[in-house]
Chain A
Amino acid sequence: MTGAVQVERADVAVVGGGPAGLAAATALRKAGAGKVVVLERESAPGGIPRHARHQGFGLRDLHRSLSGPRYAARWVELAAGAGADLQTETQATGWTDVGELELTSPRGRSLLGARAIVLATGCRERPRAARLVPGARPQGVLTTGALQQLVYLLGESPGRRAVVVGAEHVSFSALLTLGHGGARAVAMVTEHPCHQTFAAFRAGAALRFRTPLLTRTALTAIDGDQRVEEVELTSLDTGRVQRLACDLVIFTADWIPDHELAVLAGAALDPGTRGPAVDSAFHTTRPGLFAAGNVLHGAETADVAALSGRAAAESVSRHLHGDPWPTSRIPIECQAPLHWMTPSAIVAPNAATHPPFRLRAREILGARQVEIGQDGRTLWRGRVKRLLPGRSARLPGGWTGAVDSDGGPIAVHIV
């Protein structure tokens, strides 16, 4: 960095102005936090919902059903109304040695130091390259994220015949976006034995778009010269290969948290979620640094992210009031075929309140008895209705009161 660099101070810096960041900032301001700055790198705050025109946003947090853009606008209103300082076109690009954020905006290069920093940077879908799908590299290969911006922000037509890879919430959202953009999904493929979205969403899409869902099927190659011409689909059960003509391939889901700032800060990542490992009070392993929302795990719906931000705000608030940073944590370990649970540790000594936990499996398991134990002692046992890899099951947090602060790791397994 060269030249005179301005240093700003805040009580809380929230990185990311999507649902989680805006909800955290709103709650913090309401709880009496002083200067709360939200850093948003896009030209407008609101995050991913800004690009998702369909209804259904806001059920759990705002208790109503809104379109994505309306939902985003509502959270912007709430945060601004609560007195949060929303800085757009401002990207946090790294850290100084003393833990200030390095910022770039049209106003210049600056540093922001804060008593607490909340990472709410969200997640992204793995693009084609990250999934190592071989074949030609023509135009017409997109993620849902890029597709939605193309259709909703630029009003462009993405193509005509799409193959959608993935069958989760976002995949069905992609179907809607394709419809709005004048394209038709000729197939939806998933390597799993069934889809993982709400039954109603699936049924609605099936009725409206008549897109066949090909389960236990992998997209094994892309072909085309300038533009996508066809894809190769391989059955995981029979090995049968079929080719399907299309001019668009949409890679959906397969989320990866945007964890760059967490890694650069030296915060440990959870090996399961690939997001920063947080304890039940949203502390990362780096003092002063909290994380909330979809940076903690693959995408949940926007309202779940907002609720995560709101819950994290409570803990941030206590930190501002002098609660010491926990010196140790009791890790939560999932046994296969479970994949991860987040938060992935319990604060020790045990804090008073705990948010719900979210649990995912490595494969589609459906309803199972799950047990949480410590040193051979059962802390919680119950039936979990839906154990999936692409969508979390919600577990209550009440059992944490029984955790022995001096005990061993907490084990989560299927009975």
Chain B
Amino acid sequence: MGGVFDYDVAIVGAGNVGAAIARELARFELKVALIEAGRDVGAGTSKANTAILHTAYDAKPGTLEARLVARGYALLTAYADEVGIPLERTGALLVAWDDEELQRLPAISERAVKNGYDRVRSVGREELYGKEPHLGPGALGALEIPDEHIVCPFTPVLAFATQAVLAGVDLRREERVTEMQRLERGWRLETSRGSLTTQWVANAAGLHSDEVNRLAGHDEFTVTPRRGELIVFDKLSRPLVRHVILRVPTAITKGVLVAPTVFGNVVLGPTAVDIERKDDTSSTAEGLAYLQAQGRRIVPELLAHEITAVYVGLRAATESADYQLWADGGARYACAGGIRSTGLTSSMAIAEHVRDELAAAGLELRERKERLPVVRMPSLGEAQLRPFADSARIAADPEYGRVVCFCERVTRGEIRDAARSPVPPVDLDGLRRRTRALMGRCQGFFCGPSVAAALAERAGLDVAGLQEHPL
């Protein structure tokens, strides 16, 4: 294939979904472009999620989302093991705080069974407090979802992109697709950096997937950004929380959760407010006050701890309850849009689905002889052996003994590795997601400029451009 076209497939958007599709297609004899409008992979809606590995126990039965989240769970769990994505098997507790909520628990269990998940278990009040001793007073009972876990929100997309790039996918960052022109057997994409031709286009543009869909001549859905604010508490609060603690969902929202993170913090959130602008990642006084009030009820002691960070994510909500996943064979176009927070879990299953849709629509898939290159991602998880604590590693290379970011114990060796990696960071936020540098409680008070200098030196970037860390 290929011929006069620059690419066989151009994937628009390098978030979790787009990068997973790129990795999946990299297994075949195809020339693939992964085009990202932002500065980095996973820097849009993918980077501020609650980092839960979902079982799909609560999905709407019969939807594509329900099926792909369940399938994605199995795929991502295995993949995490293979490439070293931080994942902790915490399980979840869905807590009922009043009689009405308590009465709704059986229906939630039944729905889980309809989704093919039969391990939800009822937990009495006493057992609940035994499992979560710091839970606020007044809980009446809970459902245990033993396979709902926590996962690193940043490493999956980086692993997908790294593997894709090593397998020959052309990653094009900071390139926005502005127009799509139908050719006889493919497309010409006009971009902020020029133009390219491709036989097929896969739309994985997240928040902007509706716009790309319209550029492709379709108009099935509109994305309304739904803001989710998250408060991350100091690591010293980690002993307060053992499971993902969920609220009973309402018709409108899944509610606020309290959960440990794989970095050893505790996260409280998210809010859920529909907003207008797709670039408005501002936090709000109301949102933060609401989260604090919720947190005070769920785990009161949490509020006595220092706050390390506030994140704001925008979910790509649409008017439909389900994912927008389909292919238009005639147009040589596939859509993977309207993927909300479950996309972290389902991304690998979405990739398989898009692959099959493309094949059914006529894309010829011939598997490469060689397997995907083996990648091993940095050990960012508290449950993993991190370089600063690894005697053998420091003995082999003292740079792993030179801590630069003290709060998160990130070493010069890790910053160097990130700078040399196949998908290197282009800014401090990218470095943070790859190494944890600047993610900690001091937010750069002690180390901000020296971390910037270390990255600048290794990546050939300009310190002035990196100097301040967007908090």
A residues in contact (CB < 8 Å) with B = 1-5, 41, 89, 91, 93, 102, 104-109, 124-130, 132, 134-143, 145-146, 149-150, 153-154, 156-158, 220-221, 223, 225, 256, 260, 263
Contact = CB atoms under 8 A, between A and B. Distances in A.
Interface string B432-471: 0000000001111110111011000000000110011111
A146 B467 CA distance: 10
Given A91-B403, A130-B308, 19 more contacts: A1-B389, A1-B391, A2-B385, A3-B390, A91-B388, A104-B394, A104-B403, A105-B402, A106-B402, A127-B442, A130-B443, A132-B307, A134-B288, A137-B312, A153-B450, A156-B449, A156-B467, A260-B236, A260-B441
A143 B443 contact: yes
Nearest to B236: A263
B229 to A, nearest CB: 9
A124 B389 CA distance: 25
Contacts of A154: 449, 452-453, 463, 467
Interface string B43-80: 00000000000000000000000000000000000000
A91 B403 CA distance: 7
A91 B307 contact: no
A229 to B, nearest CB: 12
B251 interface: no
A223 B279 CA distance: 13
A348 B406 CA distance: 37
B398 interface: yes
Given A134-B282, A150-B467, A41 B288 contact: no
Contacts of A135: 282-283
B445 A106 contact: no
15 contacts: A1-B391, A108-B394, A109-B388, A109-B394, A136-B280, A138-B470, A139-B468, A141-B471, A145-B444, A146-B445, A150-B468, A154-B452, A154-B463, A156-B467, A260-B441
A170 to B, nearest CB: 11
Interface in B256-313: 279-285, 287-288, 306-310, 312
B444 A143 contact: yes
A129 B268 CA distance: 14
B401 A105 contact: yes
A138 B312 CA distance: 13
A256 B236 CA distance: 14
Which 9 pairs show the lowest CB-CB distances between chains A and B? A3-B391, A127-B443, A106-B398, A145-B445, A146-B448, A106-B401, A149-B449, A109-B391, A139-B468
Contacts of B309: 129
B208 interface: no
A106 B449 contact: no
Contacts of B282: 134-137, 223
B463 A106 contact: no
Nearest to B397: A106
Nearest to B456: A154
A134 B285 contact: yes
Contact of A139 (B279, B445, B470): B470
B468 A104 contact: no
A128 B468 CA distance: 13
Contacts of B399: 106
Contacts of B4: none
Contacts of A134: 282-285, 287-288
B449 A109 contact: no
Contact of A132 (B235, B310, B468, B470): B310
Nearest to A5: B391
B392 interface: yes
Given A124-B442, A127-B442, A91 B406 contact: yes
Contacts of A156: 449, 463-464, 467
Nearest to B401: A106
B149 interface: no
B395 interface: yes
A136 B399 CA distance: 36
B306 A256 contact: yes
A162 to B, nearest CB: 12
Contacts of B235: 260
A106 B399 CA distance: 6
B307 A130 contact: yes
Contacts of A132: 231, 288, 307, 310
B409 interface: yes
A239 B446 CA distance: 35
Question: Which of the listed residues A1, A102, A149 has the most CB atoms from chain B within 10 Å of its own CB?
Answer: A149
A1 B409 CA distance: 14
A109 B389 contact: yes
A110 to B, nearest CB: 8
Contacts of A146: 444-445, 448-449, 468-469
Contacts of B411: 104
A102 B261 CA distance: 23
Contacts of A221: 285
A108 B448 contact: no
Contacts of B232: 129
A132 B445 CA distance: 16
A149 B453 CA distance: 11
A281 to B, nearest CB: 26
A124 B445 contact: yes
B306 A130 contact: yes
Contacts of A124: 441-442, 445-446
Contacts of B453: 154
B470 A129 contact: no
Nearest to A151: B449
A350 to B, nearest CB: 32
A346 to B, nearest CB: 26
A23 to B, nearest CB: 20
A104 B310 CA distance: 29
A324 B344 CA distance: 56
B391 A2 contact: yes
Contacts of B285: 134, 220-221
B429 to A, nearest CB: 10
Interface string B390-430: 11101100110111001001010000000000000000000
Contacts of A150: 448-449, 467-468
A124 to B, nearest CB: 4
A360 B443 CA distance: 27
